[in-house]
Structure 1
Amino acid sequence: MSTAITQNPYLLVDRKAAIVTITINRPEKLNAFTIDVWRDLGTHFLALSDDESVRCIVVRGAGEKAFSPGNDISEFETSRSNKVQAIEYGKVMRRTIEAMANCRHPIVAQIHGICVGGGLEIASLADVRICGTSSKFGIPIKNLGLVMSYSELAPLLRLVGPATALAVLLEGTIFDAQRALELGVVTRVVADAQVAEEATKTAERIAGGAPLVARWHKKFIRRLMAGGELTDAERDEAFDCFDTEDFQIGFRAFLQKETPAFKGR
């Protein structure tokens, strides 16, 4: 049974067993972000990352027309009309971007329709990104006279590399799902009608695995991407799994040809 755990009308957070779904809920605006949505999204991710019972987080936009087109441009006159305001707005965005980037649990982006600008930034922070065949992507902010901050650029850069990231920003074109797959922007493309089902099945597969292992793999990949020489302690941490109860559950279930019921310890 799904249980709502927040009352924010523009950002719905629902939980079903170990899977949490966060929905950007402004369908009348194609799920465009306001500063409050940015702030609350970060707050939820910080809290969920600390929740040991969570095994996967799904992020989506309400409806099937859009994941998100990014920031609500109508807010610019009041919230981002000059550098001083933009810096404060940027601090809110940075907090959320870092909360998602550092989240210990796997994140799945369920992408329907439009996924551009800040929407693509959020999707880039997911570990698995699933979209429909009619989805559209891009970051056409050159047409607004805007640049992406370092915090905003980092997820895209890690995802597609410097050459592709720069091409996406310099050209500002909108590209389709197949091109997104070729560039590495998305993980899988399925029929539009199957996006929700595929995202759910993906989250269930992830949640069915050992949660400590998923968290370690995310941590290790982040560390390797950061570069630098690994310490002996860091190398030894890769073998901590052998002292977990989940390892005992996992290998015994394999030998007995049973489905493991991991406990996260």
Structure 2
Amino acid sequence: MLTSQRKTLILDILRRDGQVIAKRVAEDFELSEDTIRRDLREMAAEGLLKRVHGGALPIAPDLPDFTARRDVASGVKARLGARAAEMVKAGQMVFLDGGTTTAEIVRHLPRDIAFTIATHSPTIAAELEHHPTAEVILCGGRLYKHSMVATGAVAMAAISALRPDLFFLGVTAAHPVHGFSTGDFEEAAIKRHIAQRSAETHVLLTAEKFDLVSPCTVLAVSDVAGLIVPAETPAERLQPYAELNVAIAAA
């Protein structure tokens, strides 16, 4: 088997299983474990995976800061935001996570029914300044500037007083085995707390976030009610999530 063929198969295993165990792959390929470890070292150097003891894990690329992310896949984000906004009903409390995709929900919210938006993001709250029917609850705390959201004990306490009907969650990575994750421990804890307080959690995912793992786990796939994804997402990429009984809405 050629080296390039092995590496392609290794990536297939990584996408399918969420991890590569060097000993198991060596046995399956009928090769030495040293050969597989060399392949993994080379692939890690190429930025294709993250080497760990005994094998490898997927790797999520570093995200640019909040301002730089605003123009990334803006058309797709607008579609996802519009689809999410369609789910909002009169009288509901909806918790909006921070992020540029979530900001598109605000821009598509209905303007002829009354509802409440709760958020720990000052940028999301500011987007609602001129909305005619939305009541706004802004949860404060220590500002995590990368995502422009409040974190820490003060934010936790404020969120604990709420019981949202819907939570629209933003993450940096999604994987059917490792769940939804993000890059900051405190931010992940806040997201997880909001989900625990909410009746339903839905995740908006752009294409580049699939099959990746960021350092801090937020939720397992089975912990959310649904995904909102681009309509052009390949069916085989979505199948592992559907098998976990997660509703999938295309936009």
Q: What TM-score do the two structures reach when normalised by structure 1?
A: 0.30
Q: What TM-score do the two structures reach when normalised by structure 2?
A: 0.31
- Structure whose residues are more often helix by fraction: 1
